Structure 1
Amino acid sequence: MKKSSKNRLTPRQEAFFSGNSLFDKIARAVCRAGTLPRKELYEAWEMAKRVRRRYRGGRIIDLACGHGLLAHIMLILDD
């Protein structure tokens, strides 16, 4: 499965994310929704990890510039 594919994730791809990690749980939810391209999931996850590493805590502002997955992942990762 290519991470850079622009094909939408669908419930059929849930089996690729069978682990118990937070990423796998989010990926399964995205697969069930069936609306997001695969590359968007990986890009949002990577960006959330990088931003969280640099800026922990604080306010998260979603500027309504896309699908909103990044903001939701950042809220989940925030402790």
Structure 2
Amino acid sequence: MLVRITSKRQVTFPARVLEAMGVEPGDRLELEEGADGFIVRPHRIDLSRLAPLRGKLRPGAEAFDIYAFRAQLHDPALRD
């Protein structure tokens, strides 16, 4: 499969590739360099890194749903 690079060095992936990767507009892709080139994979939040926050929220606070938060419209500078 070939993709074209624009004059602005942007790449458009076919929809079926993005759907198979489970990414949506606004998501990020990781590029990992290896001996044979680059591997492209979706950037996922490591939920285990949030574990130190457990017990630091006030009692009775609703659970924070990071996926619902990411689905809302926010300033792009706030995205992970």
Query: Higher relative contact order at CA 8 Å, sep ≥6: structure 1 or structure 2?
Result: 1
The higher radius of gyration belongs to 2
TM-score class, shorter-chain normalisation, is: under 0.3
TM-score, normalized by length of structure 2?
Answer: 0.27
